[in-house]
């Protein structure tokens, strides 16, 4: 299926799915093979060696392109492997402007792996477009933004950044993991590359680690494909099958994540024991108009700080919930609770974290698709009821 004019629900169900020509199987088979028999040297069916090509991965890569309104998709063995491939487009001396609040593993990859190869990363608050404009130099080759950010839900205007990147002759890559392709399509707004941790909403069932890149430009696709096959961070066929299956219900899951997220965000905001709630849907948020312009909903990710800002108070809540499981990751059907400072963002030095607004006591929720009343009941036992209920 390649018709990009179909409505999103139809795209999610049918993207990449073509009946298997040898059997008619409606679901893409898991081609568990490392190599392919050739008729003669160089005479083959388009598949030579499974690091370079695999039919299950091909079906997934087609699906990724369709659901992000792009021309090409590439699947990687993890989200960070996809990020790694993008940075390998660069050379020593090149500069990257980066959102200062972002997933800790991305920061770790940039600062601990790539800086020593001479690539410079300039971290700015990208919610203010001027900060990006001021950071551009003749060496800027890439702008890397996450929106909404992990974990503070900061919003950056993708279309405005795309204007700057084009003027600067730099690429714009958007980590679209938190929004998912159901809520936001950065290529439509002028981005050059969309990156996903497919581990999250695309897979949707906490059973796979995988990453994705989607782009429109054929030359860029060729460069990234070259890196994919040369560096070898490819996902196995079983994992590709799982993400393909996850994509079929993305729209339904995202609707429920959004609905539950909204109820929980307002409940947290009304709770006297909670000092601050981070959720993209509050009208008084900075850049709220941009959220409504570039996203179709607010998602299921919420962070909050308790009035008692001590780590002990946060720990008590983190250990008290039963339906919200204490775990890293996000985007699965089941709800998770996380402590960014000691878990997902532990690789960011404390000083840097605090400077960017990520407090020691911050708690992050990945709101699942269970019944919202049960989830609120679970949080009520851990945080305390609303004062009117006391």
Question: Which of the residues 84, 94, 101, 175 is marked catalytic?
Answer: 175
Task: Kindly report the three-state secondary structure assignment for every residue of the chain.
Answer: CCCCCCCHHHHHHHCCCCCCCCCCCCCCCCCCCCECCCCECCECCCCCECCCCCHHHHHHHHHHHHHCCCCEEEEECCHHHHHHHHHCCCCCCCEEEEECCCCHHHHHHHHHHHHHHCCEEEEECCCCHHHHHHHCCCCEEEEEEECCCCCCCCCCCHHHHHHHHHHHCCEEEEECCCCHHHHCCHHHHCCCEEEEECCCCCCCCCCCCCEEEEECCHHHHHHHHHHHHHHCCCCCHHHHHHHHHHHCCHHHHHHHHHHHHHHHHHHHHHCCCEEEEECCCCCCCCCHHHHHHHCCCCCCEEEEEECCCCHHHHHHHHHHCCCCEECCCCCCCCCEEECCCCCCCCCCCHHHHHHCCCCCCCEEEECCCCCHHHHHHHHHHHHCCCHHHC
Q: Decide if residue 185 touches ligand PLP (CB under 6 A).
A: no
Among 55, 70, 79, 280, binds ligand PLP (CB under 6 A): 79
Residue nearest to ligand PLP (CB): 79
Q: Given 11, 57, 58, 200, which residue is catalytic?
A: 200
Q: Which of residues 116-135 bind ligand PLP (CB under 6 A)?
A: none
Kindly state whether residue 54 participates in binding ligand PLP, applying the rule CB under 6 A: no
Interface with ligand PLP (CB under 6 A), residue total 16
Question: Smallest distance, Å, CB 82 to ligand PLP?
Answer: 8
Residue 106 as a binder of ligand PLP (CB under 6 A): the answer is yes
Stretch that binds ligand PLP, among 40-48, 99-107, 229-237, 310-318 (CB under 6 A): 99-107
Could you say whether residue 340 binds ligand PLP (CB under 6 A)?
A: no
List the one residue from 209, 252, 346, 382 that touches ligand PLP (CB under 6 A).
Answer: 209
Minimum separation from the CB atom of position 146 to ligand PLP (A): 6
Is 200 in the active site? yes
Residue 103 annotated among the catalytic residues of the structure: yes
218-223 long-range contacts (CB < 8 A, ≥24 apart) are 218/71, 218/72, 220/171, 220/192, 220/193, 221/71, 221/72, 221/74, 223/89
199 binds ligand PLP (CB under 6 A): yes
Task: Compute the least distance from the CB of residue 47 to ligand PLP, in Å.
Answer: 26
Q: Give the active site residue among 20, 36, 51, 225.
A: 51
Of 28 and 106, which CB lies nearer to ligand PLP in the complex structure?
106
- Shortest separation between residue 196's beta carbon and ligand PLP, angstroms: 8
Q: How far is the CB of 115 from ligand PLP (least distance, A)?
A: 18
Distance CA 276, CA 104 (A): 21
Contact pick of 54, 56, 78, 140 for ligand PLP (by CB under 6 A):
78
Q: Of these, 61, 68, 95, 146, which contacts ligand PLP (CB under 6 A)? A: 146
182 belongs to the catalytic site: no
Is 229 a residue of the active site?
A: no
Q: What's the min distance (Å) between Cβ of 73 and ligand PLP?
A: 16
Of residues 61 and 146, the one with the C-beta less far from ligand PLP: 146
Which residue numbers are catalytic?
51, 103, 175, 200
* Residues in contact with ligand PLP by the rule CB under 6 A: 78-80, 103, 105-106, 146, 150, 175, 177-178, 197, 199, 209, 211, 344
């Amino acid at each position: 299926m390649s018709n990009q004019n179909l409505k999103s629900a139809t795209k999610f169900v049918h993207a990449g799915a073509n009946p298997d020509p040898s059997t008619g199987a409606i679901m893409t088979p898991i081609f568990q093979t490392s190599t392919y028999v050739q008729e003669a040297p160089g005479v083959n069916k388009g598949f030579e060696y499974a690091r370079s090509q695999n039919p299950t991965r091909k079906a997934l890569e087609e699906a990724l392109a369709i659901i992000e309104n792009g021309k090409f998709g590439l699947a990687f063995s993890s989200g960070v492997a996809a990020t790694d491939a993008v940075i390998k487009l660069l050379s020593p001396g090149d500069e990257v402007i980066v959102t200062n609040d972002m997933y800790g593993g991305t920061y770790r990859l940039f600062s601990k792996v790539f800086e020593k190869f001479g690539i410079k990363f300039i971290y700015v608050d990208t919610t203010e477009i001027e900060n990006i404009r001021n950071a551009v130099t003749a060496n800027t080759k890439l702008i890397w933004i996450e929106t909404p950010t992990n974990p503070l839900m900061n919003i950056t205007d993708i279309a405005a950044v795309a204007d700057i990147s084009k003027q600067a002759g730099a690429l714009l890559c958007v980590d679209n993991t938190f929004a998912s392709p159901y809520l936001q399509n950065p290529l439509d707004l002028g981005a050059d590359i969309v990156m996903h941790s497919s581990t999250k909403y695309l897979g949707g069932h906490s059973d796979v680690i995988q990453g994705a890149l989607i782009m429109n430009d054929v030359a860029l696709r060729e460069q990234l494909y070259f890196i994919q096959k040369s560096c070898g961070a490819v996902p196995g066929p079983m994992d590709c099958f799982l993400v393909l299956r996850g994509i079929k219900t993305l729209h339904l899951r995202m609707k429920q994540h959004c609905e539950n997220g909204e109820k929980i965000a307002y409940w947290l905001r009304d709770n006297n024991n909670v000092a601050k709630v981070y959720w993209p849907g509050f009208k008084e948020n900075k850049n709220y108009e941009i959220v409504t312009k570039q996203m179709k909903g607010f998602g299921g990710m919420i962070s909050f700080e308790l009035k008692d800002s001590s780590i002990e108070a946060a720990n008590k809540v983190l250990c008290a919930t039963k339906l919200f499981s204490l775990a890293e990751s996000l985007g699965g059907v089941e709800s998770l609770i996380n402590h960014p400072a000691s878990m997902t963002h532990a690789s960011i030095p404390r000083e840097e974290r605090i400077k960017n607004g990520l407090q020691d006591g911050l708690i992050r929720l990945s709101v699942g698709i269970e019944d919202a009343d049960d989830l609120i009941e679970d949080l009520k036992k851990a945080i305390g009821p609303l004062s009117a209920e006391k």
